[in-house]
Amino acid sequence: MGNQQRLMFLVILTAVYVQPIN
């Protein structure tokens, strides 16, 4: 348990890194 949460965190981190909201 917690694998999905880790995946989501990675996806969000990648999205922010690829296209920062700043």
What was the pLDDT predicted at 1?
59
What was the pLDDT predicted at 20?
74
Which amino acid belongs to residue 19?
A: Q
1-22 pLDDT tens trace: 578 999 999 999 999 999 876 6
Structure tokens at 6: 């880790």
Q: Is the pTM of this model over 0.85?
A: no
The radius of gyration of the chain's CA atoms, rounded to the nearest angstrom, is 10
User: Which residue in the block uniquely carries the two structure tokens 């690829």?
Assistant: 18
Q: Which residues of 1-22 are buried (b: 16+ CB within 10 A; e: fewer)?
A: eeeeeeeeeeeeeeeeeeeeee
